[in-house]
Structure 1
Amino acid sequence: MQQEASKKSFLTKIILISTLGGLLFGYDTGVINGALPFMSAEDQLNLTSFTEGLVASSLLFGAALGAVLGGRLSDYNGRRKNIMYLSILFFFATVGCALAPNVTVMIICRFLLGLAVGGASVTVPSYLAEMAPADRRGGIVTQNELMIVSGQLLAFVINAILGTTLGDISHVWRFMLIVAAVPAVFLFIGIFRVPESPRWLISKQKNEQARGVLKKIRSEDQAEAEMTEIQATVSQEKQLQKAGFKDLATPWIRRIMFIGIGIAVVQQITGVNSIMYYGTEILKNAGFATQAALVGNIANGVISVLATFVGIWLLGRVGRRAMLITGLAGTTSALLLIAILSSVLQGSPVLPYIVLGLTVTFLAFQQGAISPVTWLMLSEIFPLRLRGFGMGLTVFFLWMVNFVIGLLFPVLLGSFGLSATFYVFVILGVLAILFVKNFLPETKGLSLEQLEQHFRRYGSKEQGESKQGYATKAASAD
């Protein structure tokens, strides 16, 4: 009994330390929300709507590249060592942003910070998925999502505290940014206290090290059974060349990539990050003063954290598809109401509170259903040989869509107003629902190896089918 408790305690330590990467991801993407109004002042960086978009989205462009590089580097160096390198980049890029003397330096440092965020968005979920037992994988992997939204909440709270107490100091935004250096230091120190992924070790023929790691986090029987299963998969894949774009010629691999990219795009076109990055600006546009908007924005962070707890609980009880469709229906409805009411009630004193209530509702569906499913499915649908390449490529698409939204949202908001901007996201939300309904398979309850065999069998059935036949079969895959 004591030995079992010790194994659980060690696994918990692994989760807490590695998900500091998620906390940094969340803080660095959320802090810009409150920093922008102060950063935009004439005596600071003097930002326009376009340069506001550049400052926010330069991190996202870096994250897109970081996702691709992070996937490859985590395959080459190992998940653990890659996280260590990312912690160093997080620290120095954060310091650079906080000390930036002008827009150019800020954009460069935000880009470098994005490389770290993108690398973490690929490496941490992969590491957690490979450390977790199959029956607990959903809950463990989505704890990274919990840390992401906790990081965003921390950013919103610190923004509100500094903005209301030190708002008369023009460079208060520098204090908001530098806070992220602290968890980066803790991540660097902590990562030396956790082991490498056993799946990665076996792929590098380090079987005894892998067995030792598994025995620290599994019972004796579970460790040996998992060793056998992983070794069989790796042995089968040794005969195959390293994954790359040429593999997309294989139907079952092409289908996995199509689904992965689709999931990534769906998560972003809901418009979630327009709220997470520009929530303060949205509330100001609706009628709140700057300080009231900073405080009101905390509600968005609180509901994100609470909803993520609900999402983690639901993942063990509800299928991935059902959660995703329900979440998308909720977010799209909330955005439609924002679009309608911000036009009908324009200038009304109640409008800011209605918009705040609807953004909170939106985030309840987003963080309680869509985001947990997104990161979990991206971490579990790719077989070992494809995991680094697949995660890197799909998360690259996720960040590129994120980049476009982050760049254009303030421009659209300034040019067309709140109502018209949100109608665009409503249309995208409807398209997202259609994609999930027609193409997404169910993955709940299957081990990583079983999922690979599922996709391989689908691919073998698919051989020789016409393009029309493939589309029909994909639509009814689940």
Structure 2
Amino acid sequence: MANGNVIRSQPVGNKGSDKKFLKKITIISTFGGLLFGYDTGVINGALPFMSEKDQLNLTPFTEGLVASSLLLGAALGAVFGGRLSDSKGRRKNILYLAVLFFIATLGCTFAPNTTVMIAFRFLLGLAVGGASVTVPTFLAEMSPAEQRGRMVTQNELMIVTGQLLAFTFNAILGSTLGDTAHVWRYMLVIASLPAVLLWFGMLIVPESPRWLASKGKIGDASRVLRQVREEQRAKEELKEIEKSLSNESKTEKATLKDLNVPWVRRILFIGLGIAVVQQITGVNSIMYYGTEILKNAGFGTQAALIGNIANGVIAVLATFVGIWLLGKVGRRPMLLTGLIGTTSALLLIGIFSLTMEGTQALPYIVLSLTVTFLAFQQGAISPVTWLMLSEIFPQKLRGLGMGVTVFCLWIVNFFVGLLFPVLMAGIGLSATFFIFVVLGLGAIAFVKKSLPETKDRSLEELESYFRNYNKDINTDESIKAAK
């Protein structure tokens, strides 16, 4: 096709070719997740060098600003990225984001002072936020219902892989070039390479069939579905999509007012809750400041950089486990188990930091507990978070709904990133983690009370469930009243 949405050379209807093409689409599009992970993880090891040798001379507050300015940008990027992906298309939006990733990475790399660094970290955040919304949505819309959990979670795997690569390059560069001026610039510039690969890769990827259908391009949607499904399955799924779009025909254009419809409002409440829950575990205090936490516990800078690699390794391994579990276990029990595990690990970090301060064993205990924390976080909480956010909203509100909820996620993330170094400097490591323990208990209560199960339901079946939820509740109440 002239607009580049469909690949002419891709065989249609050949058994097995649909799965291979779907795998290629997943790998290419999740380079957005790899950039997300690298750009959020690289600051972990770069910060100590920015503060030394007459570089950026960061205080605890400006250190928090450098780390969290990306997160504030990500919050805005999530909102505008969701809207842009609804209007321009998921594929085209990812292409725009690849360009922004490249430009902002170079801006951070050559930043002459703290002000310029914060400005370009904010721009980089716009790209990260846009990717955090658009890539999971794109994958959810491209995947069959039975593979959606595994496909969407591939993005989470690429995020933690990006963070592991960041931690590894940080350790290598910090150990070999630690005495070299501006070593942190070498750490940052590496992210420009996957940005280029993402842009070229997306040129050969088709647009989401659900987005095409929502714009009235039924023929295009059918051709894409036949590229990623067997022939009969493609026909059945297209009918299901058309039926869903027909039910949404009253919604001319997705606006914030549409989020106030009772059944949509319930979805929004659940989405916002999931977003907040994922952040108040304190995961990004470890992903952004893991090196600083290990230094605070007693490691030297180089030992902390090397030890922090263990956090990246366990995050990747745990994500593989999470992908496997999503096909076996419900979303709700996974999230509850993850929250109980992370809250327990944080409680133990707080207790040992308080009772064993200054001992030689403490840094190793803290490292083992951060690894345990990340095993639960990346093996259960994070995969479920991004998957559920990508699947609970109806088609016409998916970009907007994802944008609003992920905006909230990044705002909470921003405050964690900004305040963590200030809290650690002010009240200490143990008291800071006790705060996260209290928040974790609140998260467990929310999931037990409010989270529905979404496993093994198509996107259209989930929409029907939420549409009819209030009716079912009212019917149950009427029956009880009659009795």
TM-score by length of 1: 0.96
Check conservation: 2:97, 2:127, Cα contact below 8 A. Answer: yes
Match of 1:298 in 2: 309
Aligned letter for 2:241?
I
SS at match of 1:3: coil
Gaps of at least 5 residues in structure 1 are 466-471, 473-478
**Conserved 8 A contact 2:65-2:118:** yes
Structure 1 residue identity aligned to 2:444: I
- 1:164-179 matches, within 5 Å, as 164-179=175-190
Contact 1:142/1:312 (<8 A) preserved: yes
Greater alpha carbon shift after TM alignment, 20-29 vs 234-243:
234-243
Structure 2 residue 197 is matched with structure 1 residue 201: no
SS of residue in 1 equivalent to 2:428: helix
Contact between 1:307 and 1:367, CA under 8 Å: does it hold in 2? yes
Q: 1:446 to 1:464 in 2, by over 3 A?
A: closer
Tell me what 1:337 maps to. Answer: 348
1:37-76 correspondence to structure 2 within 5 Å? 37-76=48-87
Q: Pick the aligned partner of 1:276 from 287, 302, 310.
A: 287
Name which of 295, 319, 330 aligns with 1:308.
319
Equivalent position amino acid for 2:116 in 1:
V
Deviation at 1:235, TM superposition (A): 1.8
Which residue type is aligned with residue 153 of structure 1?
A: L
Task: Decide which of 364, 368, 371 is 1:353's aligned counterpart.
Answer: 364
Deviation, 1:461, is: 4.0
Contact 1:251 1:462 in 2 (8 A): no
Partner amino acid, structure 1, of 2:228: I
* Alignment-derived partner of residue 6 in structure 2: none
Aligned pairs (5 A) from 1:153-192: 153-192=164-203
Point out the more displaced range, 451-460 or 105-114.
Answer: 451-460
Q: Which residue does 1:27 correspond to in 2?
A: 38
| 1:124 match | 135
After superposition, what is the alpha-carbon deviation per residue over 1:381-422, rounded to whole angstroms, capped at 9, x for unaligned? 001011011000000000000000000000000111100000
* 1:318 alignment partner in structure 2: 329
1:393 aligns with 2:404: yes
Whole-Å separation in 1 of the counterparts to 2:255 and 2:223: 31
| Alignment equivalent of 2:276, drawn from 265, 269, 273 | 265
- 2:114 equivalent in structure 1: 103
How many Å separate the matches in 1 of 2:135 and 2:300?
Answer: 38
SS of structure 2 residue aligned to 1:318: coil
Inter-partner Cα distance in structure 2 for 1:464 and 1:247 = 24
Deviation at 1:3, TM superposition (A): 2.6
Correspondence 1:369-408 to 2 at 5 A: 369-408=380-419
Please point out which of 427, 434, 454 is paired with 1:443: 454
Q: 1:8 aligned to 16, 19, 26, which one?
A: 19
CA displacement at 1:464 relative to structure 2:
11
CA distance in 2, matches of 1:376, 1:30: 21
1:152 alignment counterpart: 163
- Measured after TM superposition, the shift of residue 300 of structure 1 is 0.1
Q: 1:248 Cα shift?
A: 3.4
SS at 1:4 equivalent: coil
Of 94, 97, 103, which aligns to 1:86? 97
Counterpart contact for 1:252–1:460, Cα < 8 Å: no
Contact 2:13 2:227 in 1 (8 A): no
2:475 & 2:99 partners in 1: Cα distance? 49
Find the aligned partners of 1:110 and 1:306 in 2 and give their Cα distance.
Answer: 29
Counterpart amino acid of 1:405?
Answer: V
| Structure 1 residue identity aligned to 2:246 | S
How far is 1:463 from its partner?
6.4
Structure 1 residue identity aligned to 2:98: S
- Distance in 2, matches of 1:438 and 1:179, equals 44
Q: 1:142 aligns with which of 153, 173, 179?
A: 153
- Structure 1 residues 165, 42: closer, same or farther in 2, change over 3 A? closer
Change (3 A) 1:312 1:110: same
Report deviation, 1:434: 0.2
2:224 to 204, 210, 213: 213
C-alpha distance in 2 between matches for 1:415 and 1:48: 13
1:77 matches 2:82: no
Q: Distance in 2 between matches of 1:146 and 1:461?
A: 37
| 1:469 alignment counterpart | none
Paired amino acid for 1:125: P
Deviations 1:190-210 (A, max 9, x none): 000100000000001111111
Q: Which moved more, 1:243-252 or 1:126-135?
A: 243-252
Q: How far off its partner does 1:6 sit? A: 1.7
Instruction: Give the alignment's Cα RMSD to 1 decimal.
Output: 1.5
Which of 238, 249, 268 does residue 238 from structure 1 map onto? Answer: 249
The 8 Å contact of residues 275 and 409 in structure 2, kept in 1 or not, is answered as yes
The alpha-carbon deviation at position 52 of structure 1 amounts to 0.2
With normalisation by structure 2, the TM-score equals 0.95
Q: Is the 8 A contact 1:43 1:170 kept in 2?
A: no
Distance 2:236 2:354 in 1: 60
Contact kept, 8 Å, 1:307 with 1:364, in 2: the verdict is: yes
Q: Does the residue aligned with 1:441 lie in a helix, a strand or coil?
A: coil
Identity of aligned residues (%): 71
Q: What are structure 2's unaligned runs of at least 5 residues?
A: 1-11, 478-483
Given residue 160 of structure 1, which amino acid in structure 2 is its aligned partner?
A
Q: Give the 3-state SS of the residue equivalent to 2:252 in structure 1.
A: coil
